[in-house]
Each structure stands twice: as C-alpha cells, then as structure tokens.
Amino acid sequence: MISEYINAAMKNAHYEIIEDEEPYYGEIPELRGVWATGKILEECRDNLTENRGVDTCPQ
C-alpha cells in the first residue's frame, strides 16, 4: 500500500536546474524531505527513486 502511494507521488515529482556540480534537482512535494540531484535528468530521477524512502511520512 505504501509503495502505491509513493509511486503515485513520483508522478508529481518536480524538477529544476540549479547552479551546482549536479545541476538537476528533483523533489516530491507530497513527501517532505525527499529530494535528489544528478548530472543529468535521468540520474536525478534514479537518485530520487532511490531516496524516496528517506522520509515517507507526510507531515
């Protein structure tokens, strides 16, 4: 059940380009504290998927 919630939340992930060594930044607004960066967008998405369990309790 929690994995279904997280997968649905991933569809609402927000990405932007920042000034950094890893310029792609992504976060899941519904999951406070879940964010990631990457050198390319796909790396950012992969990192975000790996990190999505860091804080899975919406506050």
Q: How would you write the chain as a 3-class SS string? A: CHHHHHHHHHCCCEEEECCCCCCEEEECCCCCCCEEEECCHHHHHHHHHHHCCCCCCCC
In a domain? residue 20: yes
| Residue 56: per-residue pLDDT | 45
Give the model's confidence band at 4: pLDDT under 50 very low, under 70 low, under 90 confident, else very high.
confident
What pLDDT digit, counting tens, does each position of 12-53 carry?
Answer: 999 999 999 999 999 999 888 889 999 999 999 989 887 654
pLDDT above 60 for 3:
yes
Structure token digits, residue 19: 């000034």
The count of structural domains within the chain is 1
Give the model's confidence band at 58: pLDDT under 50 very low, under 70 low, under 90 confident, else very high.
very low
In a domain? residue 57: no
In a domain? residue 27: yes
Q: What is the CATH number for 38?
A: 3.30.160.250
pLDDT above 60 for 54:
no
In a domain? residue 59: no
